[in-house]
Structure 1
Amino acid sequence: MPPNTVPDRLLSSTSARSPSIITSEKFQELIKQGDSVFIYEQKVYKVNNFMAKHPGGEAAIKSALGRDVTDEIRTMHPPQVYEKMINLYCIGDYMPDVIRPVSITQQHTHITKADKPVLTATWEGGLTVQAFDDAIKDLHKHHSHDLTTDAVVQKDLNGDQIREAYRKLEAELYERGLFKCNYWKYARECCRYILFIFLSLWFTLRGTETWHYMAGAAFMAMFWHQLVFTAHDAGHNEITGRSEIDHVIGVIIADFIGGLSLGWWKDNHNVHHIVTNHPEHDPDIQHIPFFAITTKFFNDIYSTYYNRILKFDAASRFFIKYQHYLYYLVLSFGRFNLHRLSFTYLLTCKNVRTRTLELVGITFFFVWFGSLLSTLPSWNIRIAYVMVSYMLTFPLHVQITLSHFGMSTEDRGPNEPFAAKMLRTTMDVDCPEWLDWFHGGLQYQAVHHLFPRLPRHNLRQCVPLVREFCNQVGLHYYMYNFSTGNGVVLGTLKSVADQVGLMNQVAKSNAKIWANEKEHAH
Structure 2
Amino acid sequence: MPPNTASDILSESTRPLITQDKFQELIKGGDKVFIYESKVYKVNNFIEKHPGGSAAIASALGRDVTDEIRSMHPPKVYEKMINLYYLGDYMPDISTRKLATKPKKTQQKTEQPVLELSWEGGMSVKAYDDAIEDLHKHHAKDLVEDSKAQQDLDNMKIREAYRSLEQEIHSRGLFECNYYKYAKEGCRYTTLLFLSLWFTLHGTQTWHYMAGAAFMAAFWHQLVFTAHDAGHNGITGKVEIDHIIGVIIADFIGGLSIGWWKHSHNVHHIVTNHPEHDPDIQHLPFFAITNKFFNNLYSTYHKRVLPFDAAARFFVSYQHYLYYLVLSFGRFNLHRLSFMYLLTEKNVRNRKLELSGITVFFIWFGTLLSYLPTWKIRVAYVFVSYMLTFPLHVQITLSHFGMSTEDKGPNESFPAKMLRTTMDVDCPEWLDWFHGGLQYQAVHHLFPRIPRHNLRECVPLVRQFCKDVGLHYYMYNFSTGNGVVLGGLKSVADQVTFMKEVAKNNAEIWSGEKHHTH
**Cα-Cα RMSD:** 1.9
Task: Give CA deviations for 1:392-441 in whole Å, capped at 9, x if unaligned.
Answer: 00000000000000000000000100000000000000000000000000
1:210 lines up with 2:206 in the alignment: yes
1:494 lines up with 2:490 in the alignment: yes
Distance in 2 of aligned mates of 1:65 and 1:81: 17
Distance in 2 of aligned mates of 1:31 and 1:106: 40
Aligned residue in 2 for 1:105: 102
Q: CA deviation at 1:155?
A: 4.5
Distance in 1 of aligned mates of 2:153 and 2:302: 35
Distance in 2 of aligned mates of 1:227 and 1:166: 31
Task: Give CA deviations for 1:488-511 in whole Å, capped at 9, x if unaligned.
Answer: 000000000000000000010111
1:87 lines up with 2:96 in the alignment: no
After TM superposition, which residue ranges in structure 1, 4 or more long, deviate above 4 angstroms? 101-104, 154-157
Higher relative contact order (CA 8 A, sep 6+): 1
CA gap 1:157/1:403 in 2 versus in 1, 3 angstroms: farther
**Which of 414, 427, 431 is residue 431 of structure 1 equivalent to?**
427
**Which of 458, 464, 468 is residue 462 of structure 1 equivalent to?**
458
Q: CA deviation at 1:517?
A: 2.2
CA gap 1:101/1:232 in 2 versus in 1, 3 angstroms: farther
> TM-score, structure 1 length as denominator?
0.87
Aligned residue in 1 for 2:396: 400
Distance in 2 of aligned mates of 1:106 and 1:237: 48
Task: Give CA deviations for 1:203-235 in whole Å, capped at 9, x if unaligned.
Answer: 000000000000000000000000000000000
Q: CA deviation at 1:15?
A: 11
Aligned residue in 2 for 1:251: 247
Q: CA deviation at 1:521?
A: 2.8
- Do 1:60 and 1:271's aligned partners in 2 also have CA atoms closer than 8 Å? yes
1:316 lines up with 2:312 in the alignment: yes
- Give the partner amino acid of 2:279: P
Distance in 2 of aligned mates of 1:359 and 1:247: 15
Q: In structure 2, the residue corresponding to 1:105 is in which secondary structure? A: coil
Distance in 1 of aligned mates of 2:61 and 2:352: 30
- Do 1:103 and 1:158's aligned partners in 2 also have CA atoms closer than 8 Å? no
1:506 lines up with 2:502 in the alignment: yes
- Do 1:22 and 1:44's aligned partners in 2 also have CA atoms closer than 8 Å? yes
Task: Give CA deviations for 1:95-138 in whole Å, capped at 9, x if unaligned.
Answer: 00116475573799xxxxxxxxxxxxxxxxxxxxxxxxxxxxxx
- Give the partner amino acid of 2:338: S
CA gap 1:460/1:518 in 2 versus in 1, 3 angstroms: same
CA gap 1:106/1:498 in 2 versus in 1, 3 angstroms: farther
- The structure with the larger Rg is 2
CA gap 1:521/1:155 in 2 versus in 1, 3 angstroms: farther
CA gap 1:495/1:446 in 2 versus in 1, 3 angstroms: same
- Give the partner amino acid of 2:461: L
**Which of 47, 50, 66 is residue 46 of structure 2 equivalent to?**
50
- Do 1:251 and 1:358's aligned partners in 2 also have CA atoms closer than 8 Å? yes
Distance in 1 of aligned mates of 2:11 and 2:206: 69
In the TM superposition, 1:63-462 aligns within 5 A as 63-98=59-94, 100=97, 103=100, 105=102, 155=151, 158-462=154-458
Q: CA deviation at 1:518?
A: 1.8
464-473 vs 155-164, greater mean Cα deviation: 155-164
Q: In structure 2, the residue corresponding to 1:293 is in which secondary structure? A: coil
Q: CA deviation at 1:520?
A: 2.5
Q: In structure 2, the residue corresponding to 1:39 is in which secondary structure? A: strand
Q: CA deviation at 1:516?
A: 1.7
Aligned residues: 467
Unmatched tracts of structure 1, length 5 or more: 1-13, 109-150
CA gap 1:104/1:255 in 2 versus in 1, 3 angstroms: farther
Q: In structure 2, the residue corresponding to 1:94 is in which secondary structure? A: strand
- Do 1:104 and 1:157's aligned partners in 2 also have CA atoms closer than 8 Å? no
Q: CA deviation at 1:43?
A: 0.3
- Give the partner amino acid of 1:508: K
- Give the partner amino acid of 1:181: C
